[in-house]
Amino acid sequence: MLRWSTVLARIGVGLAVALLVLLIALPLLGLVLRIAPGDLIHQLRQPIVLDALRLSLITSVTATMLVIGLGLPVAGLIATKEFPGKRALEVLIELPMVLPPTVAGLGLLLAFGRTGLAGRSLDALGISLPFSTAAVVLAQAFVAAPFFITASVAGFREVERRYLDTAATLGAPPLTQLIRVILPLSLPSLLAGAAMGWARALGEFGATITFAGNLQGVTQTMPLAVYLALEADLRAAVALAVLLLLVSVVLLLAVRTVAPRHRLSSAAHAVRHTP
């Protein structure tokens, strides 16, 4: 016979799942049901939509690359070494996750703006970041970096010491260990982190509009286009929103299907081929 506590626990969990699914799925359903497929196709042909979509894809991919390039060494350092100021570095890296994006945008403006801390020197070199596509990328990288780095640190920490010891015993130099053992074993975490960062960059709004402004084809990404269309034409806004939703779903699904396969194959590969 089932115990009362078990029954209650099941009801509780069921209720929680149902409420959470409603909370997330209902708004999405609301968007999708609001639009006819014909409308979506019609909107796709609008130059403003095409510009925003193209800009969003280019900037978010660039920002993700930037975050991976700079984030990997930082994550490796945090995961493997102890050094003074490590705590401070970790807090600093996580900070953009909790900052309201508008604050991030204002900060970026005060740092890289024409009269900003670093902006003054940049301006002297003839580089002006605000209102440029580069500013969009910076804003996106700023908010996306913590997602990638925290996931990567966790991934690196999961790599078991004994694999590295085995590799070292067999004479593999550190670089070989990194390429043949550490990266393959932590690849699922790295991919998941990159996907999270990419998704965050794609959805970035507040920092972008504050730091980069809003100009079609230059700084108007999909989220900005959705927000501004909302005030002029609700149908266009819904179409844009659904489009952004579709792109995000495709991306997340792609990562889901790639990541587990890599985990298995790369782990097996690493074990088999470690010299």
Partner 1 sequence: MNRRALLASLSLFGGVLGCGRTANTPPPVVTVFAAASLSGAFAELGQLLEQRQTGLTVRFNFAGSQQLALQIHQGAAADVFASADERWIRAVSDSGLVAGAAEIFAHNSLVVIVPTANPGRIERLEDLTRRGLKLVLATETVPVGKYSREVLGKLSGAPGFGTTYAELALRNVVSFEENVKAVAAKVQLGEADAGIVYRSDVTSATAPQVRIIPIPDQYNVVADYPIAVLARARNEAGARAFHDLVLSAEGQAVLERHGLTPAGVGSVPTSDAP
* Element at 238 (helix H, strand E): helix 234-273
Would you give the DSSP letter of residue 248? Answer: H
12-41: which residues touch partner 1 (CB under 8 A)? 12, 15-16, 19
Distance CA 127, CA 109 (A): 14
At its nearest, how many Å lie between partner 1 and the CB of residue 234? 8
At its nearest, how many Å lie between partner 1 and the CB of residue 268? 38
Do 156 and 181 touch, CB atoms closer than 8 A? no
Q: Between residues 22 and 97, which has the closer beta carbon with respect to partner 1?
A: 22
Distance CA 164, CA 169 (A): 8
At its nearest, how many Å lie between partner 1 and the CB of residue 5? 5
Residue 232 near partner 1 by CB under 8 A: yes
Determine which residue in the list 99, 228, 239, 240 makes contact with partner 1, applying CB under 8 A: 228
The residue range among 28-36, 62-70, 113-121, 190-198 that interacts with partner 1, by the rule CB under 8 A, is 113-121
Residue 227 near partner 1 by CB under 8 A: yes
The tokens describing 133, both together, are 């596509």
Please tell me the count of residues contacting partner 1 according to CB under 8 A.
29
181-210: which residues touch partner 1 (CB under 8 A)? 209-210
Task: Find the DSSP H helices in 101-182.
Answer: 101-112, 119-124, 133-158, 161-169, 174-177
Do 185 and 266 touch, CB atoms closer than 8 A? yes
Q: Between residues 115 and 169, which has the closer beta carbon with respect to partner 1?
A: 115
Burial-class residue 110 by CB neighbours within 10 Å (0-12, 13-18, 19+): middle
Kindly write out the interface string for residues 38-57 of this chain, putting x where it contacts partner 1 by CB under 8 A and - elsewhere. Answer: --------------------
Do 153 and 186 touch, CB atoms closer than 8 A? no
Q: Where on the chain is the footprint of partner 1 (CB under 8 A)?
A: 4-5, 8-9, 12, 15-16, 19, 109-110, 113-115, 130-131, 209-210, 212-215, 218-219, 227-228, 230-232, 234
